[in-house]
Amino acid sequence: MSEANFETDLITLPRFLLDNLKDIKCATGEFTLLLNALQFAFKFISQTIRKAELINLVGLAGHANSTGDEQKKLDVLGDEIFINTMKGSGNVKVLVSEEQDDLIVFKSEGGNYAVCCDPIDGSSNLDAGVSVGTIVSIFRLLPGSTGSIKDVLRSGNEMVAACYAMYGASTHLMLTTGNGVNGFTLDTNLGEFILTQKNLVLPPSREIYSINEGNTKYWDDSIKQYINKLKGEDDVNAKPYSARYIGSMVADMHRTFLYGGLFAYPADSYKSPNGKLRLLYEAFPMAFLVEQAGGKAVNDKGERIMDLTPTHIHDKSSIWLGSKEEVDKYLKHIGKK
Ligand code: AHM
Ligand code: MG
């Protein structure tokens, strides 16, 4: 730090990757190039979202995606940006996107990675200018694979990296390569992600819960009871938790990473009998990041998210994740602790 607290020794994402190369188990030159391509996709999507209203990019595209959600124009554009960037990197062989029914296998030579992504998560919030994000999980191809569905229908434990970008007041990037979590903030003047949260640790507990309580009538009794307990309804002396729900997983989780608390999207008997969030590109990467920051991630039954294996690329899961003690309290409630 020099005069007037002006930082002159910035750690950019490329510098961070070079400095930490030896500590990153999957780090090859190819992996570093892949992360560089990813950060370009995040910058491109971030800039596109920021000017969306001015260039007629708000509103619906007029069709639905693989999971039946109405696609926004920005969902389609974000997906295109992501696919083209991954294809252009030459380091990705297999791509799964929330916006594509099928897995994509790039025909070009090379590429030893499989990338799964939700290009714009929380897109129902887009037209209101609320924070949204991109979520990504990365697997190395199976030995000898030339790219197939088997490269992604694997346990979460096999991910080599996960990250999300959140497009909010600033653009943030949270990254794990299995050696802790580091957070970066986009300096739009420099066009670089700058390290701002080194070795981020999730607060071990915090009285905040984040859940779409409008679905209460469709929840199992056990879940209703647990949320009532957090609100202190069964104990006049208990201090109620605060409720915080943005409706963009990335934004709700970004707050949880920084402040602590619990985020959940349980199964319900009406809209989401298996939960709403997709394993490969929502639940897995967030669970990996949360665990690497000292937190926990489980499903309604208390099974560790990272131990699950999808049978289809768009499989969903219920999820409870965040501060270790908050997830442990839920596990105790369901008799798993
Ligand atoms: P999306 O990927 O189609 O945007 O859906 C996922 C989003 C999450 O970001 C968020 O946690 C959840 O859906 C909100 O769902 P709901 O509106 O049912 O509360
Ligand atoms: Mg999503």
Summarised one tens digit per residue, pLDDT across range 96-136 is: 999 999 999 999 888 999 999 999 999 888 888 899 999 99
227-230 long-range Cβ contacts below 8 angstroms, 24+ apart: 229/333, 230/262
What are the pLDDT digits (tens) for 138-156?
Answer: 999 999 999 999 999 999 9
ipTM exceeds 0.95? yes
pLDDT of residue 34: 95
Say how many Å lie between the CA of residue 311 and the centre of ligand 2.
19
Contact 131, 170 (CB under 8 A): no
* Rounded Cα–Cα distance for residues 209 and 206 (Å): 9
Instruction: Among the bound ligands, name the one nearest to the CA of residue 135.
Output: 2
Residues with C-beta less than 6 Å from any ligand 1 atom: 69, 98, 118, 121-124, 212, 247-249, 265, 276
Residue 62 has pLDDT above 80, yes or no: no
β-bridge pairing 113-121 and 316-317: unpaired
In terms of C-beta density within 10 A (0-12 exposed, 13-18 middle, 19 or more buried), how is residue 232 classed?
A: middle
Both structure tokens of 237: 């002396």
**Average pLDDT along the chain:** 93
Is the Cβ–Cβ distance between 75 and 119 less than 8 Å? yes
Sequence-ordered list of residues with C-beta below 8 angstroms from that of 283, at least 6 positions apart, any chain: 156, 275, 277, 297, 305, 308, 317, 319
Q: Has residue 39 got a pLDDT over 80?
A: yes
Residue 295 CA, distance from chain mean position: 14
271 Cα–ligand 1 center, Å: 12
**What percentage of the chain has pLDDT greater than the value 70?**
94
Nearest CA to ligand 1 atom 12: 247
| Selection from 327, 325, 331, 225 nearest residue 286 by Cα | 327
Nearest atom within ligand 1 for CA of residue 118: 2
**pLDDT over 80 at 21, yes or no:** no
| 82, 45 contact by CB (below 8 A) | yes
Question: Which atom of ligand 1 is nearest to 67's Cα?
Answer: 3
- Position in ligand 1 atom list of the atom nearest CA 132: 9
For ligand 1, atom 4, which residue shows the shortest CA distance? 122
**Predicted model pTM:** 0.94
